[in-house]
Amino acid sequence: MSSASPARSSGQAFHAQPNTLCGAHTVEAAERAEGGQPVGAQDSAWYVVPEQLSIYGTELYDELSPPDKHRLSRFEAALWASNTVHGEDQVLGGLAPRGDLHYFVGVFAAEEVNHQQMFRSYLQHLGVELLPTRAVGWMTPPLTEAEFFACTYVFEDIVGRSNRAIAKDERCHPVARAVNHAHAVEEAVHLNFGRANLARIIPELTEAERNRLADQVGSYLRAVWRERYRSDVYELAGLPKPWAIARQAWSAPRQVAHRVDYTTRALRHLTVLGLDPEEIAS
Compute the average pLDDT of residues 255-268.
89
Average pLDDT, the chain: 87
How do residues 165-196 score in pLDDT, each as one tens digit? Answer: 999 999 999 999 999 999 999 999 999 999 99
Higher pLDDT, 67 or 140: 67
Query: What is the C-alpha separation between 238 and 236, in angstroms, rounded?
Result: 5
Q: What residue type is assigned to position 182 of the chain?
A: A
Is residue 119's pLDDT more than 50? yes
38-61: pLDDT as tens digits: 566 677 889 999 999 999 999 999
Residues 81, 85, 88, 89, Cα dihedral to 10° = -160
Contact (CB, 8 A) for 166 and 177: yes
The most confident of the ranges 27-31, 88-92, 118-122, 138-142 is 118-122
Assess whether pLDDT exceeds 60 at residue 3.
no
Span 20-281: which CATH code? 1.10.620.20
The domain locations on the chain are 20-281
Contacts of 206 (CB under 8 A, 6+ apart): none
Q: 12-26, 55-69, 250-264: which has the minimum mean pLDDT?
A: 12-26
Confidence (pTM): 0.89
pLDDT 10s digits, 203-242: 999 999 998 898 888 888 888 899 999 999 999 999 999 9
User: Residue 2: its pLDDT value, please?
Assistant: 42
> What pLDDT score was predicted for residue 9?
42
pLDDT band at 32 (very low <50, low <70, confident <90, very high): confident
Predicted local confidence at residue 162, as pLDDT = 95
Q: Name the 3-class secondary structure at 172.
A: strand
**116/111 Cα distance (integer angstroms):** 9
Is it the case that residue 20 has pLDDT exceeding 60? yes
